[in-house]
């Protein structure tokens, strides 16, 4: 067994351990920070490689399955996030920057890595891919007006420019995945699926280290604040996953579990990256600490995902 195949077989455990690398090695985190955007694109390529084209086409032909998921992620979820922020008075607990970050996170599209995570966990990778793709393309139309109306934050995002960036990223990753599939062949890709998963894990580890830049210093300077944020990000992710699961349970347990995974893993980085001047530094700290549930929950909840995702 190759090193990558071994990593693929132990993907969830390695991701759980890897999230602490950036904390333990802050200098390495600073060094890896320029790799954030390239790793997002490479993760998307790996996600596309592991999906069968027939499964993607089947999901595309069933908009009735995909559109409700996207509607929940982009429209219903932000309303839930704003209601939670107001009900719990998070602004008085953590400050306005964190309160804004929570609402923006609930309005963000699914992570580009959610497709590969769904595949590794035995869930519906095709559904997660369609939700991630459509959610990413529609997000520039939904997030700015929603966030502006809910919390009064002007993101200064040019809709056309942001959609063009998202589309370019998806097209670039799609062309790369198609070229690899054409050269390698479907049979060889299937044979080496564990190694592909291992490559995905390796890239996610690089991303985790890079995004942790500055978190160690913040934890040493204000450990109580970071501990509170850590509890908050886990609570927000788990609550959204539970709501998504319950709402989509009539569609079947596998679909509901896939929606739960999608609901708790959002691409907030692309929003903060598009309009960094609009956000308080606490929002970027929130984004970094978000990596803990992203990397730890697949390992902690793997038996649950597999049980309900059959």
CA distance 125 to 196: 15
Instruction: Inform me whether the pLDDT recorded for 217 exceeds 70.
Output: yes
The pLDDT tens digits of the residues spanning 248-260 come to 999 999 999 999 9
Q: Position of tokens 């097209």?
A: 171
CA nearest neighbour of 154 among 294, 277, 20, 285: 277
- What number is the average pLDDT over the span 224-238? 96
CA nearest neighbour of 285 among 235, 207, 218: 218
CA distance 112 to 213: 21
Domain residues for the domain of 115 are 3-308
Q: What is the CATH number of the domain that holds 231?
A: 1.20.1530.20
Please classify residue 232 by burial: count the beta carbons closer than 10 Å to its beta carbon, then call 0-12 exposed, 13-18 middle and 19+ buried.
buried
The pLDDT tens digits of the residues spanning 164-191 come to 776 777 788 888 988 998 898 888 888 8
CA distance 36 to 41: 9
Long-range own/partner contacts, residues 80-86 (CB < 8 A, 24 or more apart):
80/106, 80/240, 80/243, 81/105, 81/106, 81/107, 81/236, 82/106, 82/150, 82/151, 84/236, 84/239
Rg over CA atoms, the chain? 18
CA distance 204 to 211: 10
The pLDDT tens digits of the residues spanning 95-144 come to 999 999 999 999 999 998 898 899 889 999 889 988 988 888 788 888 88
In residues, how long is the chain?
310
Give the pTM.
0.85
Contact in structure between 210 and 18 (CB atoms under 8 Å): no
Number of domains in the chain: 1
CA distance 105 to 88: 17
Which tokens belong to 226? Answer: 């970071």
In angstroms, how far is CA 143 from the centroid of its own chain?
A: 16
Q: Which residues pair with 110 in a beta bridge?
A: 266
């Amino acid at each position: 067994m190759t090193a990558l195949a071994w990593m693929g077989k132990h993907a969830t455990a390695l991701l759980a351990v890897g999230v602490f690398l950036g904390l333990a090695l802050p200098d390495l985190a600073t060094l890896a920070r320029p790799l954030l955007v390239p790793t997002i694109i490479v993760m998307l390529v790996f996600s596309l490689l592991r999906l069968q084209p027939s499964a993607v086409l089947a999901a595309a032909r069933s908009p009735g399955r995909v559109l409700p998921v996207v509607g929940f992620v982009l429209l219903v979820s932000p309303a839930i996030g704003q209601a939670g922020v107001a009900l719990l008075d998070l602004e008085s607990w953590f400050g306005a920057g964190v309160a804004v970050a929570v609402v923006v996170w609930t309005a963000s599209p699914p992570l580009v890595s959610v497709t590969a995570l769904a595949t590794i966990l035995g869930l519906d990778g095709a559904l997660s891919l369609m939700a991630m793709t459509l959610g990413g393309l529609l997000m520039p139309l939904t997030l700015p007006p929603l966030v502006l109306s809910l919390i009064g934050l002007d993101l200064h995002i040019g809709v056309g420019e942001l959609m063009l960036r998202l589309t370019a990223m998806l097209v670039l990753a799609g062309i790369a995945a198609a070229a690899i599939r054409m050269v390698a062949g479907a049979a060889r890709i299937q044979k080496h699926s564990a190694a592909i998963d291992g490559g995905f894990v390796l890239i996610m580890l690089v991303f985790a280290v890079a995004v942790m830049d500055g978190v160690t210093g913040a934890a040493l300077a204000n450990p109580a604040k970071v501990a509170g944020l850590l509890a908050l990000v886990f609570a927000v992710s788990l609550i959204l996953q539970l709501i998504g699961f319950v709402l989509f349970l009539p569609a079947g347990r596998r679909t509901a579990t896939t929606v739960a995974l999608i609901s708790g893993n959002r691409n907030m980085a692309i929003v903060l990256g598009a309009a960094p001047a609009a956000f308080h530094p606490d929002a970027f700290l929130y984004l970094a600490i978000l990596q803990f549930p992203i990397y730890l929950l697949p390992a902690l909840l793997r038996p649950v995902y597999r049980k309900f995702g059959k």
